Homo-oligomer: A and B are copies of this chain.
Amino acid sequence: MTAAPRKKAASAIATQTGRSERLDTRMLESLVGYNARRAWLAVSTVFAERMTAYGLKQVDFSVLSLLAHNPGATSRQLCATLDILPPNLVSLISTMDSRGLIERRPHPYDGRAIGLYLTPAGEALVREAERTVVELENEASERLTARERETLIRLLQKVYR
């Protein structure tokens, strides 16, 4: 998300010779995958900006939010839910722990597993962060009616669920 688009380019002429400023993207824009990625990229850029205030990346937010609604979830469950690999969750969890946002408690009847819980500080942070994300989402889907937004989400879930 760096590329600075030019002013406008008075084209309409030389598409054939390929020297116009804007390229013909009709093929790519006919693909669900391409559009989903672009939309995600647009939202996630704003997401990343706003979350720096909380010191959270996207995965961090996902993990904390999941723990807010699923106290005692294990690393394994988080990995399965978010499609991330166990080794890549370790440092994330231990950072959250160091920051005093989460707590690790031994699992009641599985000695291998560790239950993860938000601390009061963690809960307060998630509450704020979730509010910001909802705000941000409303801005991002500003050009959609509430009904269109629901439809969009429903159709996206039809693709991946």
Contacts and interface: CB of A to CB of B under 8 A. Distances in A.
A41 to B, nearest CB: 7
18 contacts: A15-B70, A17-B72, A18-B71, A18-B73, A21-B77, A23-B69, A27-B68, A29-B153, A32-B141, A32-B152, A35-B152, A37-B40, A37-B44, A39-B156, A141-B159, A144-B159, A148-B155, A155-B155
Interface string A32-68: 1111111111111001000000000000001001101
A8 interface: no
Nearest to A110: B19
Contacts of A15: 70
Contacts of A44: 33, 37
Query: On chain A, which size bracket covers the interface?
Result: 35 or more
Given A32-B149, A37-B40, A42-B159, 5 more contacts: A23-B81, A33-B43, A36-B156, A141-B159, A152-B155
Nearest to A44: B33
Number of this chain's copies in the complex: 2
A152 to B, nearest CB: 4
A124 interface: no
Contacts of A24: 66, 69-70
Contact of A18 (B4, B70, B159): B70
A7 interface: no
Interface string A93-104: 000000000000
Given A18-B72, A65-B28, A85 B35 contact: no
